[in-house]
Amino acid sequence: MTTPTLDEVAQALSQMVADKMDIDVASIKPDSSLQSLGLDSLDTFDLIFSAEDHFKIKVPNDQIKIETLHDVSVLVHKLTIEQNK
């Protein structure tokens, strides 16, 4: 598969957050903190799980150090490049 761009990853993640949290995707900014979007630690695990499914990647436990949606996008984007080689 072709590796998605950082923008494409960010858009897909925003949509996932909107679906999970029942919020308008337009209200989600790339630099929004996950906490401000209403995600607690469990919701964050669930978001990572969905991202793993969607992008066919595996996020190692020691790499889940994220505060903003942008952090998630960067991490997922990096892993799609590394793991889809």
Partner 1 sequence: MSISLNRRRVVITGLSVVSPLGNTIADLTHNIFSGVSGIKLLDAEFVDKLDCKIAAQAHFDPTDHFSKHTYGMLDRTSQMALHTSIEAIKDASLEITDQLKPRMGVYLGTGMGGANSVEEAYIRLYRDNASRLKPFTVLMGMNNAAAAAIGLEHQLTGPNLTFSTACSSSSVAIGEASRQIRHGYADVMLAGGSESLLTFGTIKAWEALRTLAEQDVNDLTSSCKPFSADRTGMVLGEGAAMMVLESYEHAIARGATIYAEILGYGSASDSAHITKPSVDGQAITIQTAILDADIPSEAIQYINAHGTGTMLNDVTESNAIKKAFGDHAYNLSISSTKSMHGHLMGATGALEAIITTLAVYNNKLPPTINLSNPDPECDLDYVPNVAKTLPRLNYAMSNSFAFGGTGASLIFKKIN
Kindly list the residues in this chain that would bind partner 1 in the complex (CB under 8 A).
Answer: 19-22, 38, 42-43, 45-46, 49, 52
| Closer residue to partner 1, CB minimum distance, 9 or 48 | 48
Whole-number Cα distances in Å, 67 to 3, 14, 34, 70, 72: 24, 14, 6, 8, 8
Q: Is 72 helix (H, G, I), strand (E, B) or coil?
A: helix
Q: Is 55 helix (H, G, I), strand (E, B) or coil?
A: helix
Instruction: Find the shortest distance in angstroms from Cβ 7 to partner 1.
Output: 26
| Closer residue to partner 1, CB minimum distance, 5 or 41 | 41
Instruction: Find the shortest distance in angstroms from Cβ 38 to partner 1.
Output: 7
